[in-house]
């Protein structure tokens, strides 16, 4: 991996062979990232697009203009927008202020996170083209996020990660494991909104095989836990995406060493692969 010097225009700039990771810089690149999201979320994973999305064949919403979009470009596939093979949407505090809220607020009470005195970062809408769900793309994305966190001095990063399907009972072992073993401390704990709250405490702790429960988790959630991350209180069913969501949070001061080890492990090939398993998150 050959890092370039970060600049105000490019807070993240990394190369790995033909792959380049940076923040999208043009409307065409953002639209190409949205088109990739559409292919993964709506065509591969059968989420339900709006009529406008279906017509444009792009996944977009009112948050996109206030976010930065990390993209991976395979220059062997094409330059700029033509070569985009992975993306991750990032919203810092200023973007949420200009938009009026963070995306997660429609599912979770995130006041504990918003009240954190330093910079915070919401991650979402992450996906990878099926042909690129390899250790190379994953190591590049993790390293890029680490550099982005360092550049902007992010103290807390959070978002939602998902289980496939809309029946929480199908994931009762994994959800109960997360509740008993990885619930966030109160000062960093999001809570599902009352009208959407699904208890994750579905089984007593002594009935859970923790090793099997961990192995059953989607790759994104396992990745966050390996960093020392936590989950919020309560799951949420998302009918549009056909998922059961959990809130995830990573407190940078608590996991600096783990984060460094994690993305170096990715570079060494210890990775899980690709809202669901076709993505890094939605």
Return the pLDDT at 221: 93
Return the pLDDT at 259: 53
Return the pLDDT at 7: 55
The angle, 0 to 180 degrees and rounded to 10, between the axes of the packed helices 252-267 and 135-152 is 150
107-111, 123-127, 265-269, range with greatest mean pLDDT: 107-111
The angle, 0 to 180 degrees and rounded to 10, between the axes of the packed helices 219-226 and 252-267 is 120
Return the pLDDT at 227: 84
Full-model pTM: 0.87
Taking CA atoms, 255 is separated from 48, 202, 259, in Å, by 36, 29, 6
Helices (H) and strands (E) in the chain, counts: 9, 12
Backbone angles phi, psi at 127, to 5 degrees: -160, 160
Residue 277 lies in a domain: no
Residue 258 lies in a domain: yes
Count up the domains in the chain and report the number.
1
Return the pLDDT at 267: 42
Residue 281 lies in a domain: no
Residue 254 lies in a domain: yes
Does residue 3 surpass a pLDDT of 50? no
Return the pLDDT at 93: 97
- For the stretch 54-59, contacts whose Cβ atoms lie closer than 8 Å and that sit 24 or more positions apart, written own/partner, are 58/31, 58/34, 59/34, 59/35, 59/125
Q: How far apart are CA 77 and CA 73, in angstroms?
A: 8
Residue 275 lies in a domain: no
For the chain, what percent of residues have pLDDT higher than 90? 78
Residues 6+ apart with CB under 8 A from 103: 63, 91, 122, 124
265 pLDDT band, cuts 50/70/90, is low
Q: Tens of pLDDT along 161-216? A: 999 999 999 999 999 999 999 999 999 999 999 999 999 999 999 999 999 999 99
Return the pLDDT at 219: 85
Residue 194 lies in a domain: yes
Hey, which residues does 238 pair with through a beta bridge?
243
* Angle CA 1–133–141, to nearest 5: 40
Query: Sign of torsion, CA 14 18 24 25?
Result: positive
CATH number of residue 192's parent domain: 3.40.630.30
Domain with 53, as residue range(s), is: 2-267
The mean pLDDT value for 253-269 works out to 54
Q: Tens of pLDDT along 43-92? A: 999 999 999 999 999 999 999 999 999 999 999 999 999 999 999 999 99
Residue 132: exposure state from Cβ atoms within 10 A (0-12, 13-18, ≥19) = middle
Cα dihedral 35/39/41/44 (nearest 10): 180
The mean pLDDT value for 214-230 works out to 91
Q: Three-class SS of residue 260?
A: helix
Mean pLDDT of the chain: 89
Residue in the block written with tokens 């991996």? 1
Residue 142 lies in a domain: yes
Residue 107 lies in a domain: yes
Half-sphere exposure of 134 toward its Cβ, with a 13 Å CA cutoff? 8
Return the pLDDT at 280: 40
Residue 45, phi-psi category: left (phi > 0), alpha (psi -120 to 50), beta (remainder)? alpha
């Amino acid at each position: 991996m050959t890092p370039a010097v970060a600049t105000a225009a490019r807070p993240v700039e990394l190369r790995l062979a033909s792959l380049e990771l940076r923040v999208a810089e043009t409307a065409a690149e953002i639209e190409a990232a949205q088109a990739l999201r559409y292919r993964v979320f709506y065509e591969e994973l059968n989420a339900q697009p709006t009529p406008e999305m279906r017509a444009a064949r792009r996944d977009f919403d009112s948050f996109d203009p206030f976010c930065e979009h990390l993209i991976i470009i395979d220059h062997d596939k094409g330059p700029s927008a033509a070569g985009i093979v992975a993306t991750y949407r990032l919203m810092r505090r200023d973007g949420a202020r200009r938009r009026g809220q963070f995306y997660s607020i429609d599912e979770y009470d995130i006041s504990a996170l918003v009240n954190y005195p330093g910079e915070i970062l919401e991650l979402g809408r992450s996906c990878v083209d099926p042909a690129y769900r390899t250790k190379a793309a994953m190591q590049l994305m993790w390293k890029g996020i680490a550099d982005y966190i360092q550049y902007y001095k992010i103290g807390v990063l959070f978002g939602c990660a998902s289980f496939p399907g809309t029946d929480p009972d199908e994931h009762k072992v994994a959800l109960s494991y997360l509740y008993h073993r990885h619930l966030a401390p109160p000062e960093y704990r999001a809570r599902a909104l009352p009208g959407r709250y699904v208890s994750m405490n579905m089984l007593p702790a002594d009935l859970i095989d923790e090793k099997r429960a961990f192995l059953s988790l989607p790759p994104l959630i396992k990745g966050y836990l390996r960093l020392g991350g936590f989950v919020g209180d309560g799951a949420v069913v998302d009918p549009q995406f056909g998922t059961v969501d959990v809130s995830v949070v990573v407190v940078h001061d608590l996991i600096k060493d783990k984060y460094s080890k994690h993305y170096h492990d990715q570079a060494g090939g210890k990775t899980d692969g690709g809202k669901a398993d076709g993505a890094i998150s939605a």
